[in-house]
Amino acid sequence: MDKKEFVVFGLGRFGWSVATTLAESGCEVLAVDDNEDKIKDIADIVTYAVKADATDSETLSTLGLSNFDGAVIAMSEDLEASVMATILVKELGIPYVLVKAQTDLHAKILKKVGADMVVFPEKETGMRVAHNLIMGNFFDAVELSSTYSLMELEPLDEWDGKSLKDLNLRSRYKLNVIGIKQDDELNINPDADDYITKNDVLIVIGKNEILNKLKILKN
Ligand code: ADP
Protein backbone atom coordinates (compact mmCIF):
# COMPACT_ATOMS: atom_id res chain seq x y z
CA MET A 1 0.00 0.00 0.00
CA ASP A 2 1.29 3.48 -0.86
CA LYS A 3 2.25 5.68 2.03
CA LYS A 4 -0.30 8.35 2.88
CA GLU A 5 0.76 11.89 2.05
CA PHE A 6 -0.13 14.91 4.16
CA VAL A 7 0.75 18.57 4.06
CA VAL A 8 0.84 20.62 7.26
CA PHE A 9 0.72 24.42 7.08
CA GLY A 10 1.89 26.24 10.20
CA LEU A 11 4.35 24.73 12.64
CA GLY A 12 3.16 26.13 15.94
CA ARG A 13 2.88 23.59 18.75
CA PHE A 14 -0.19 21.94 17.24
CA GLY A 15 1.02 21.83 13.63
CA TRP A 16 4.45 20.65 14.74
CA SER A 17 2.94 17.86 16.80
CA VAL A 18 0.66 16.72 13.94
CA ALA A 19 3.47 16.85 11.36
CA THR A 20 6.03 14.97 13.45
CA THR A 21 3.50 12.34 14.62
CA LEU A 22 2.42 11.66 11.04
CA ALA A 23 6.07 11.36 9.97
CA GLU A 24 6.93 9.07 12.88
CA SER A 25 3.91 6.93 11.93
CA GLY A 26 5.36 6.36 8.47
CA CYS A 27 3.44 8.93 6.42
CA GLU A 28 4.98 11.21 3.82
CA VAL A 29 4.77 14.71 5.27
CA LEU A 30 5.32 18.07 3.64
CA ALA A 31 5.66 20.79 6.30
CA VAL A 32 5.13 24.41 5.26
CA ASP A 33 5.82 27.50 7.36
CA ASP A 34 6.97 31.00 6.55
CA ASN A 35 9.42 30.92 9.43
CA GLU A 36 12.83 29.77 8.25
CA ASP A 37 14.00 28.52 11.67
CA LYS A 38 10.97 26.23 12.04
CA ILE A 39 11.60 24.79 8.59
CA LYS A 40 15.26 24.15 9.46
CA ASP A 41 14.28 22.50 12.76
CA ILE A 42 11.74 20.12 11.22
CA ALA A 43 13.64 19.35 8.00
CA ASP A 44 15.24 16.16 9.34
CA ILE A 45 11.99 14.80 10.79
CA VAL A 46 9.52 15.15 7.89
CA THR A 47 9.83 14.15 4.23
CA TYR A 48 9.96 17.71 2.86
CA ALA A 49 10.02 21.06 4.62
CA VAL A 50 9.37 24.20 2.62
CA LYS A 51 9.54 27.83 3.68
CA ALA A 52 6.51 29.40 2.02
CA ASP A 53 3.52 31.61 2.61
CA ALA A 54 0.45 29.38 2.83
CA THR A 55 -1.69 32.09 1.22
CA ASP A 56 0.41 32.39 -1.92
CA SER A 57 -1.47 30.53 -4.64
CA GLU A 58 1.43 30.49 -7.08
CA THR A 59 3.79 28.87 -4.59
CA LEU A 60 1.14 26.38 -3.50
CA SER A 61 0.51 25.31 -7.08
CA THR A 62 4.21 24.40 -7.44
CA LEU A 63 4.14 22.05 -4.44
CA GLY A 64 2.40 19.18 -6.27
CA LEU A 65 -0.35 18.87 -3.68
CA SER A 66 -3.11 17.45 -5.88
CA ASN A 67 -2.40 13.81 -4.96
CA PHE A 68 -2.09 14.41 -1.23
CA ASP A 69 -4.51 12.57 1.05
CA GLY A 70 -5.02 15.43 3.45
CA ALA A 71 -4.00 18.90 4.57
CA VAL A 72 -3.75 20.31 8.09
CA ILE A 73 -3.94 24.08 8.43
CA ALA A 74 -2.61 25.16 11.81
CA MET A 75 -2.33 28.93 11.79
CA SER A 76 -5.35 29.74 13.93
CA GLU A 77 -4.01 33.14 15.05
CA ASP A 78 -4.48 34.35 11.50
CA LEU A 79 -8.04 33.74 10.33
CA GLU A 80 -7.49 35.36 6.95
CA ALA A 81 -4.48 33.15 6.20
CA SER A 82 -6.41 30.06 7.39
CA VAL A 83 -9.34 30.93 5.11
CA MET A 84 -7.07 31.58 2.12
CA ALA A 85 -5.08 28.39 2.63
CA THR A 86 -8.28 26.35 3.01
CA ILE A 87 -9.69 27.70 -0.24
CA LEU A 88 -6.41 27.14 -2.10
CA VAL A 89 -5.86 23.55 -0.98
CA LYS A 90 -9.48 22.64 -1.71
CA GLU A 91 -9.06 24.15 -5.19
CA LEU A 92 -5.97 22.00 -5.66
CA GLY A 93 -8.13 18.94 -5.02
CA ILE A 94 -6.97 17.77 -1.58
CA PRO A 95 -9.88 15.59 -0.41
CA TYR A 96 -9.62 16.15 3.36
CA VAL A 97 -8.73 19.46 4.94
CA LEU A 98 -8.55 19.81 8.71
CA VAL A 99 -8.24 23.32 10.12
CA LYS A 100 -7.43 24.53 13.61
CA ALA A 101 -9.74 27.34 14.74
CA GLN A 102 -10.04 29.64 17.73
CA THR A 103 -13.76 30.41 17.93
CA ASP A 104 -17.09 28.97 16.81
CA LEU A 105 -17.51 31.84 14.37
CA HIS A 106 -14.10 31.11 12.82
CA ALA A 107 -15.13 27.46 12.53
CA LYS A 108 -18.32 28.45 10.70
CA ILE A 109 -16.40 30.55 8.22
CA LEU A 110 -13.77 27.84 7.67
CA LYS A 111 -16.47 25.24 7.03
CA LYS A 112 -18.20 27.59 4.58
CA VAL A 113 -15.00 27.89 2.53
CA GLY A 114 -14.49 24.13 2.39
CA ALA A 115 -12.83 22.84 5.60
CA ASP A 116 -13.85 19.21 6.08
CA MET A 117 -13.05 19.26 9.77
CA VAL A 118 -12.44 22.11 12.21
CA VAL A 119 -10.76 21.46 15.55
CA PHE A 120 -10.20 23.44 18.74
CA PRO A 121 -7.39 21.47 20.38
CA GLU A 122 -7.09 23.56 23.56
CA LYS A 123 -10.84 23.60 24.18
CA GLU A 124 -11.21 19.90 23.38
CA THR A 125 -8.27 18.89 25.55
CA GLY A 126 -9.56 21.07 28.40
CA MET A 127 -12.96 19.39 28.22
CA ARG A 128 -11.38 15.92 28.13
CA VAL A 129 -9.12 16.68 31.09
CA ALA A 130 -12.04 18.02 33.15
CA HIS A 131 -14.16 15.06 32.16
CA ASN A 132 -11.45 12.57 33.13
CA LEU A 133 -10.96 14.34 36.48
CA ILE A 134 -14.67 14.02 37.26
CA MET A 135 -14.77 10.46 35.98
CA GLY A 136 -12.21 9.40 38.58
CA ASN A 137 -14.20 6.40 39.74
CA PHE A 138 -14.91 5.01 36.30
CA PHE A 139 -12.55 2.20 35.59
CA ASP A 140 -12.07 2.98 31.98
CA ALA A 141 -13.56 5.26 29.35
CA VAL A 142 -13.32 5.76 25.63
CA GLU A 143 -14.41 9.13 24.32
CA LEU A 144 -16.54 8.39 21.24
CA SER A 145 -17.06 12.09 20.55
CA SER A 146 -16.96 15.31 22.56
CA THR A 147 -20.42 14.42 23.95
CA TYR A 148 -20.52 10.60 24.19
CA SER A 149 -18.36 8.01 25.93
CA LEU A 150 -18.20 4.26 26.18
CA MET A 151 -17.29 3.26 29.68
CA GLU A 152 -17.49 0.94 32.62
CA LEU A 153 -19.95 2.18 35.22
CA GLU A 154 -20.75 1.03 38.74
CA PRO A 155 -24.52 0.72 39.24
CA LEU A 156 -26.26 3.05 41.67
CA ASP A 157 -27.30 1.33 44.92
CA GLU A 158 -30.99 1.64 44.03
CA TRP A 159 -30.42 -0.34 40.82
CA ASP A 160 -29.51 -3.43 42.85
CA GLY A 161 -31.72 -6.42 42.01
CA LYS A 162 -33.66 -4.64 39.26
CA SER A 163 -33.92 -5.71 35.64
CA LEU A 164 -32.91 -3.50 32.74
CA LYS A 165 -36.59 -3.31 31.81
CA ASP A 166 -37.51 -2.07 35.32
CA LEU A 167 -34.69 0.43 35.33
CA ASN A 168 -35.56 1.84 31.91
CA LEU A 169 -32.13 3.48 31.72
CA ARG A 170 -32.45 4.21 28.03
CA SER A 171 -35.33 6.62 28.43
CA ARG A 172 -34.47 7.86 31.94
CA TYR A 173 -30.79 8.61 31.28
CA LYS A 174 -30.32 7.97 27.53
CA LEU A 175 -27.92 5.28 28.69
CA ASN A 176 -27.34 2.19 26.56
CA VAL A 177 -26.17 -0.83 28.54
CA ILE A 178 -24.20 -2.95 26.11
CA GLY A 179 -22.70 -5.35 28.61
CA ILE A 180 -22.90 -6.49 32.24
CA LYS A 181 -19.81 -7.85 33.98
CA GLN A 182 -20.68 -10.26 36.79
CA ASP A 183 -17.54 -11.56 38.51
CA ASP A 184 -15.43 -12.67 35.57
CA GLU A 185 -18.39 -13.34 33.26
CA LEU A 186 -19.29 -10.77 30.64
CA ASN A 187 -22.89 -10.72 29.48
CA ILE A 188 -22.68 -9.00 26.12
CA ASN A 189 -25.84 -7.47 24.73
CA PRO A 190 -27.96 -8.18 27.80
CA ASP A 191 -31.72 -8.83 27.62
CA ALA A 192 -34.30 -6.48 29.07
CA ASP A 193 -35.06 -9.15 31.68
CA ASP A 194 -31.46 -9.43 32.89
CA TYR A 195 -30.89 -8.26 36.46
CA ILE A 196 -28.23 -5.97 37.82
CA THR A 197 -26.65 -6.44 41.21
CA LYS A 198 -24.64 -3.80 43.03
CA ASN A 199 -21.38 -5.68 42.52
CA ASP A 200 -21.76 -5.76 38.73
CA VAL A 201 -19.99 -3.46 36.36
CA LEU A 202 -22.05 -2.08 33.50
CA ILE A 203 -20.56 -1.32 30.12
CA VAL A 204 -22.47 1.64 28.81
CA ILE A 205 -22.59 4.23 26.09
CA GLY A 206 -23.97 7.54 27.26
CA LYS A 207 -23.77 11.30 27.25
CA ASN A 208 -20.81 12.63 29.19
CA GLU A 209 -22.90 15.10 31.20
CA ILE A 210 -25.28 12.33 32.29
CA LEU A 211 -22.42 9.97 33.11
CA ASN A 212 -20.95 12.77 35.25
CA LYS A 213 -24.25 13.12 37.12
CA LEU A 214 -24.47 9.37 37.72
CA LYS A 215 -20.96 9.43 39.14
CA ILE A 216 -21.92 12.24 41.53
CA LEU A 217 -25.08 10.33 42.60
CA LYS A 218 -22.97 7.26 43.20
CA ASN A 219 -20.66 9.07 45.64
P1 ADP B 1 -1.75 28.06 16.38
O2 ADP B 1 -2.12 29.19 17.31
O3 ADP B 1 -2.78 27.76 15.35
O4 ADP B 1 -1.32 26.80 17.08
P5 ADP B 1 0.72 29.38 16.11
O6 ADP B 1 0.34 30.82 16.07
O7 ADP B 1 1.31 28.82 17.36
O8 ADP B 1 -0.51 28.53 15.58
O9 ADP B 1 1.73 29.07 14.94
C10 ADP B 1 1.38 29.36 13.64
C11 ADP B 1 2.54 28.95 12.77
O12 ADP B 1 2.12 29.21 11.44
C13 ADP B 1 3.81 29.74 13.00
O14 ADP B 1 4.91 28.87 12.99
C15 ADP B 1 3.85 30.73 11.84
O16 ADP B 1 5.17 30.98 11.41
C17 ADP B 1 3.08 29.97 10.78
N18 ADP B 1 2.36 30.85 9.86
C19 ADP B 1 1.52 31.85 10.15
N20 ADP B 1 1.03 32.43 9.04
C21 ADP B 1 1.57 31.75 8.00
C22 ADP B 1 1.44 31.82 6.58
N23 ADP B 1 0.67 32.73 6.00
N24 ADP B 1 2.14 30.93 5.84
C25 ADP B 1 2.93 30.02 6.39
N26 ADP B 1 3.08 29.89 7.72
C27 ADP B 1 2.43 30.73 8.52
Go through the domains of the chain in sequence order and give each one's CATH number.
Answer: 5-122 (3.40.50.720), 129-218 (3.30.70.1450)
Going from the Cα of 12 to the center of ligand 1, the distance in angstroms, rounded, reads 6
Question: In the prediction, which pLDDT does 136 show?
Answer: 59
pLDDT one-digit tens code per residue, 163-174? 999 999 999 999
Q: Are 185 and 198 in contact (CB under 8 A)?
A: no
Going from the Cα of 30 to the center of ligand 1, the distance in angstroms, rounded, reads 15
The pTM of this model reads: 0.72
Question: In the prediction, which pLDDT does 139 show?
Answer: 52
| Residue 8, ligand 1, Cβ within 6 A | no
Going from the Cα of 17 to the center of ligand 1, the distance in angstroms, rounded, reads 13
Residue 141: in which H helix or E strand, if any? strand 141-143
Spatial distance between the Cα atoms of 78 and 89, rounded to a whole number of angstroms: 17
Spatial distance between the Cα atoms of 164 and 170, rounded to a whole number of angstroms: 9
20 by Cβ neighbours in 10 Å (0-12 / 13-18 / 19+) ranks as middle
Closest approach atom of ligand 1 to CA 75: 3
Mean pLDDT of the residues in the chain: 91
Question: In the prediction, which pLDDT does 164 show?
Answer: 95
Q: Are 16 and 43 in contact (CB under 8 A)?
A: no
Rounded to 5 degrees, φ, ψ at 207 are -75, 135
Q: Are 55 and 32 in contact (CB under 8 A)?
A: no
| Residue 77, ligand 1, Cβ within 6 A | yes
Mean pLDDT by 10 residues, the chain (219 residues): 92 96 95 98 98 96 95 97 98 97 96 96 81 62 81 91 94 92 87 92 90 76
Question: In the prediction, which pLDDT does 183 show?
Answer: 83
Residue nearest to atom 9 of ligand 1 (CA): 12
